Amino acid sequence: MILVFGRTGQVATELQRLGDVTALGRDQADLADPGACAEAIRTRQPRVVINAAAYTAVDRAEDEEPLATTINGASPAAMARACAAIGTPLVHISTDYVFDGSGTRPWSPDDPTRPINAYGRSKLAGETGIRAAGGSHAILRTSWVFSAHGNNFVKTMLRLGKDCDRLSIVADQVGGPTSAAAIARVCLTVAEALCLHPDRTGTYHLSGGPDVSWADFARAVFARTGRTPEVADIPSSAYPTPAARPHNSRLDNTALTRAFNLGRPDWQADLDEVLRDLDRL
């Protein structure tokens, strides 16, 4: 059995569409309770575990760091210890926000981490706890997730684009938009590979290519829809948020390609697919 933590989120939804998985919602395993997460693994004895649940409210985390740290740090660590105890591999999703966003070079998995907000610190705590558990695992750091489900930048742009002729969008943050479906596909492939090759344990980067600014990503969304509001580039300083965001979110995917023979997802093709999905909904 492939056990997935998370049921309603973007990646969890795609995992259920793509794979034969058992997905646990908050009612069955609350990540605010690390013991309950470990117990869910002990009682089910899965072949592999994928953690697609997380505290993802980046701005709210500034006011709720202890809760975010339990959900994103202590619970993944408890899952990893429970997995290690029964020899089950764990695939865990992390984030570009573990980096400080300096420079313009794509981050490699072994570059030094230095989160600049509470959410990033909480996700880094999860990574550290998983490695400390000593079991077979893959930590997949991804960025800028979008899908037809849940809340994300693409859906926000489609909503705002209906009523506005002009939008000001941040242009000094650059990264790789990544579809939840692409993440789910990689999670399932990596999970199967880890069952056969536990020595491929490690931290990997997975982001859609090519890298782009939020403003250019918005233009790509509008270019595919009937309405094309004018998009004006603005700096992050003109759009203050409670949590600081990294400017450079470029992720180097080479390690993932080498270990699992997986190419970098093409976010433009995946965006077309998500827009088709939204039409069908």
Ligand X SMILES: NC(=O)c1ccc[n+]([C@@H]2O[C@H](COP(=O)([O-])OP(=O)(O)OC[C@H]3O[C@@H](n4cnc5c(N)ncnc54)[C@H](OP(=O)(O)O)[C@@H]3O)[C@@H](O)[C@H]2O)c1
Residues that bind ligand X (CB under 6 A): 6-12, 26, 30-32, 52-56, 71, 93, 95, 123, 142-145, 150, 180
What is the β-pairing status of strands 137-142 and 178-179?
A: unpaired
Reading the block at residue 187, the tokens are: 């999670």
CB 158 within 8 A of CB 220: no
Residue among 55, 97, 119, 204 flagged as catalytic: 119
Of 191, 213, 244, the closest CA to residue 46 belongs to: 191
Quote the distance between the C-alpha of residue 110 and its chain's center.
18
Nearer to ligand X, 35 or 163 (CB): 35
Of 126, 201, 153, 142, the closest CA to residue 11 belongs to: 142
Least spacing, CB of residue 123 vs ligand X, in Å: 6
Least spacing, CB of residue 112 vs ligand X, in Å: 19
Reading the block at residue 251, the tokens are: 């992720």
Nearer to ligand X, 87 or 246 (CB): 246
Least spacing, CB of residue 158 vs ligand X, in Å: 16
The CA–CA distances, whole Å, from 140 to 6, 143, 223, 229 equal 16, 10, 30, 35
Least spacing, CB of residue 208 vs ligand X, in Å: 11
Annotated catalytic residue 119: yes
Quote the distance between the C-alpha of residue 5 and its chain's center.
14
Least spacing, CB of residue 226 vs ligand X, in Å: 26
Other Cβ atoms closer than 10 A to 197: 13
Nearer to ligand X, 53 or 83 (CB): 53
Nearer to ligand X, 51 or 226 (CB): 51
C-alpha–C-alpha distance, residues 274 and 268, integer Å: 10
User: Would you say the C-alpha torsion 27, 120, 183, 42 has a positive or negative sign?
Assistant: negative
Nearer to ligand X, 23 or 84 (CB): 23
* Positions marked catalytic: 119
